Amino acid sequence: MKKLMLLAMLLGAVVGALAAVTEPSDWRYPKMLLIELPKMPFRYFV
């Protein structure tokens, strides 16, 4: 569980940074990643 939380935090930081540098016109990509973000820690173990 600790690993999952660390992974989620790391991914959150990556997506946060991405959202910060993304122009508003390109919002769909970070939005998609944000939606996918909670699933990524699970995908990591497949």
Partner 1 sequence: MPDYDVVVIGGGAGGLSAAALCQKAGMKTLVLEQSDRIGGCCSTFEAEGFHFDVGASVVEVTESFEELFRRLGLSREKYIPLVPVDPIYDYCDITRGVRFAYPTDVEETAKVISEFSPEDGKAFLKFARDFTPKIKGLVGNFFYAPCQGFLDIIKLVIKYPGIMEALPMFFTTHQKIVRKYFKNDDVLASMAFQSFYAGLPPDLCAGLYAIVGLLEHEGIYYPPGGMIGIPRGIQRALEDLGGEVQFGKRVVKILVEKRTAKGVELWDGTQITAGNVIGAINAKKVYMEMIGREHLPWHVWRGIDSMKLSMPCPMIYLGIDYEPPLRAHHTLTLTSPQVMNDYWSDYYLKGKLYTVDGRPEIMGLVSWASKVDPGLAPEGKHVLTHMGLAPYNLAGDDWDRHKERYIDEAIATVERYMIPDLSDHVVYRDMATPKDLERMLLHPGGAVYGIQTDLSHMAMFRPSNKSKSIKNLYLAGASTHPGGGVCTVVAGGIITATLLTRDNA
Q: Which residue's entry shows tokens 């999952």?
A: 4
- How many whole angstroms separate alpha carbon 30 and alpha carbon 2? 25
Give 37's DSSP letter.
G
Q: Which alpha helices (H) appear in 1-46, and where do they start and end?
A: 2-21, 28-36, 40-43
Total residues binding partner 1 (CB under 8 A): 20
If one asks whether residue 16 binds partner 1 (CB under 8 A), the answer comes out as no
Near partner 1 in 21-40, by CB under 8 A = 21, 23, 26, 28-29, 32-33, 36-37, 39-40
Residues lying near partner 1 in the complex (CB under 8 A) are found at 4, 14, 17-18, 21, 23, 26, 28-29, 32-33, 36-37, 39-40, 42-46
